[in-house]
Structure 1
Amino acid sequence: MTPQDAAPALAVTLTALGLVDSAFSGFRAHAGRDARIRKHRAVVRATLRGLAVGTGLLLAPVLTAGAVLLAAADRDRTYAALAEGAIGFLVPLACYTTAVLLSLAAYLVLPFRASTLALVAGLGPLTLLRPLVLAAACAGTLASGGGAPALLVGAVAGAAVLCVEPLVHRRWYAAPQR
């Protein structure tokens, strides 16, 4: 299977990762703002807000990829470059996602103290590493042969997912709750 054949599956996978990250970003924007014990509704609402904002922002890389393809002199070659770049973009994200899922699994499975440690020692630093992982993903687009078109789309996608949490925070959670 060539990268061009896998391009639709790669696009769906990368979009799904972006949407999941957006949902977590909505949760992070809300985290620590509510001292109630039962805050399931507030957490779901924050997650959905992140998902909604992320859905809107993830249109930017889709439109960028479409514009790159429309402006290309050789669309087949550009499509192949975007597919190669998507593979390079996905590899660091897959490693990062695996680490996040392992931390989440430890948090959900382990006893209270150990799960708290997994949360603090795992998810905390991983959250701070997100911009570096996205930079590595952009570098991966170049290393895999995606070239400038794939780097442009990857950079726009990276900027989009990094903007979700600040936008959700600013829109819904910046003012202290009463």
Structure 2
Amino acid sequence: MTPAVALVALGLVDAAFSGYRAYAGRDARIRRRRAMARAALRGLAVGALLLMAPALTAGSVLLTAGDRAQSYAALADGATGYLPPLALYAAAVLLSLAAYLVLPLGGSTLATAIGLGPLTLLRPLVIAAACLCALAEGGRPSALVGAVAGAAVLCVEPVVHHRWYRQVL
């Protein structure tokens, strides 16, 4: 699997979770699986749309480059550098999510309090670290594409919240 495919997959999974987070706490019903699934699908749809921005940015970098082969190699190196911080973060989230799903109520509450909650707050820092790694591996064009991708995934939750779950007072 190429780094770009793995990054798109991580971005889409993150978008689905962002849609869920935009919905979480908005409904007091006990049985709300359909609403949670709808929220995740909304996040996925918004994420897929917003992830076109880094693809267009990468395409623009390649189209305007003097040496396209060298630019492609730099973007590929940048994607390779962008992936490890995100993969490490995704593994930590999956571990916390598994603990939340498997442990009894007290343990799942603890998994949320020390795992899922703080990890959600760390998302922008992880993306910034990934951008720095992309810069180190592939140079400024890779960092640009990474920054656009990071901004896209960070915008999913606010867009979904604003579009579907904002309560007008």
The TM-score bracket by the shorter chain reads: over 0.9
Choose which of 84, 87, 98 in structure 2 pairs with 1:94: 87
What amino acid sits opposite 1:96 in the alignment? Y
What amino acid sits opposite 2:92 in the alignment? A
1:1-30 CA-partner distances (Å, limit 9, x unpaired)? xxxxx7xx1111000000000000000000
Between the aligned partners of 1:85 and 1:77, the Cα distance in structure 2 is 12
Aligned residue for 1:40?
A: 33
Residue 61 (str. 1) matches residue 54 (str. 2): yes
Shift of 1:137: 0.3
Shift of 1:115: 1.0
1:59-107 CA-partner distances (Å, limit 9, x unpaired)? 0001110110011000011011001100110010011001001001111
Aligned structure 1 segments of 4 or more residues deviating by more than 3 angstroms: none
Give ranges in structure 2 of 5+ residues lacking alignment: none
1:139-164 CA-partner distances (Å, limit 9, x unpaired)? 001222x1011011000000000000
Count of equivalent residues: 169
Between the aligned partners of 1:17 and 1:155, the Cα distance in structure 2 is 15
Between the aligned partners of 2:105 and 2:27, the Cα distance in structure 1 is 20
Between the aligned partners of 1:10 and 1:70, the Cα distance in structure 2 is 21
Residue 174 (str. 1) matches residue 139 (str. 2): no
Choose which of 128, 153, 157 in structure 1 pairs with 2:145: 153
Between the aligned partners of 1:75 and 1:109, the Cα distance in structure 2 is 49
What amino acid sits opposite 1:60 in the alignment? A
1:118-141 CA-partner distances (Å, limit 9, x unpaired)? 012100000000000000000001
Choose which of 98, 109, 114 in structure 1 pairs with 2:107: 114
Shift of 1:176: 5.9
Give ranges in structure 1 of 5+ residues lacking alignment: 1-5
RMSD: 1.2
1:15-55 CA-partner distances (Å, limit 9, x unpaired)? 00000000000000000001110000110010000000000
What amino acid sits opposite 1:130 in the alignment? R
Aligned residue for 2:72?
A: 79
TM-score normalised per structure 1: 0.92
Aligned residue for 1:134?
A: 127
Aligned residue for 1:123?
A: 116
Between the aligned partners of 1:99 and 1:143, the Cα distance in structure 2 is 24
Percent identical among aligned pairs is 70
SS in structure 1 of the partner of residue 26 of structure 2: coil
What amino acid sits opposite 1:159 in the alignment? A
Between the aligned partners of 1:21 and 1:176, the Cα distance in structure 2 is 27
- Tell me which moved more, 115-124 or 13-22: 115-124
